Amino acid sequence: MTIITSTPYASFFDRLKMNDLEIAYVTPQYVSEDTLFAKGKRLTRISATKTKNFFAKPEVKVGSLVAYWATETLVTALGIYAFISMGMYVPAAFSVFILAYLTYATFGVINEVKL
């Protein structure tokens, strides 16, 4: 839309005033850093830092190793039971030796972690 005025070099705001159009000024008090984007960015940074600090704790590492060992022991025990119930004693004995080595290695690593 072209605004025709008698002044050849009128600025944009002068043209608006001459045609009785309102000008909405945005003052700095309405511009805030608490926008949804800024809050989300801040929350993501805080969450990532808390997660990183949580997994850096030695007790979390030890807990993860113990949980892994317990799960692996349960699966291996069910495998040993299945091998024995099918009369396959050599694979059952092999599974027992693997479980013993896994237990030795896991608790050796846990012993090295300084709490």
Q: What is the pLDDT of residues 23-73, one digit of tens each?
A: 555 555 554 566 666 666 677 777 778 888 888 898 999 999 999 999 999
What does the alpha-carbon distance between residue 37 and residue 104 come to, in Å, rounded to a whole number?
A: 50
Q: Is 1 contained in some domain?
A: no
- Parent domain of 43: 33-112
27 assigned to some structural domain: no
* The total number of structural domains that make up the chain: 1
Assigned domain for 42 exists: yes
The answer as to whether 24 is a domain residue is: no
The answer to whether position 21 is within a domain reads no
Q: Are 35 and 43 in contact (CB under 8 A)?
A: no
For the stretch 92-106, pLDDT in tens is 999 999 999 999 999
> What confidence score (pLDDT) does residue 47 get?
79
CA 114 to chain centre: 26
Q: Which residues of 24-33 are buried (b: 16+ CB within 10 A; e: fewer)?
A: eeeeeeeeee
Instruction: Classify residue 70: in a domain, yes or no.
Output: yes
